[in-house]
Amino acid sequence: MVRFWAQLLGSEPVDRARGWSHVELPGFARLAFQPVPEGKTVKNRFHLDIAVDDIEAATTEAVGMGGARVGETVTDDQESFQAMLDPEGNEFCFVSA
């Protein structure tokens, strides 16, 4: 998972002890990943919207890395967005104004 997110966000994965890993987003945040015994069974409680210039290009890249598109791109009066799943089924969106 950390490698998918690091590549998607243009960063490097950092592996730690006991199966933990993280991705540093300088000046912004750290995304941490830890192993858990159970699989994902319900919707995320936390959802990332990732701003991109080209939703279709970002979607194609993510699918090539193991992500999946959910439905079609939606456009409303404020923005366009594409719902996605990472390789473990966690939801996120690419958004563009």
26-49: per-residue pLDDT in tens? 888 899 999 888 888 888 878 899
Residue of 97 and 27 predicted with greater confidence: 27
Domain assignments of the chain as residue spans, ordered by start: 1-36, 47-97
Please state the pTM of the whole predicted model.
0.83
Give the contacts of 85 (CB within 8 A, at least 6 positions apart).
67, 68, 70, 91, 92
Residue 78 predicted with pLDDT over 90: no
Q: How far apart are CA 19 and CA 32, in angstroms?
A: 11
DSSP 38-50: SPP-S--SS-EEE
Fold of the CATH domain 47-97: 2,3-Dihydroxybiphenyl 1,2-Dioxygenase; domain 1 (3.10.180)
Q: Which two tokens stand for residue 3?
A: 């490698």
Give me the amino acid identity at 68: A
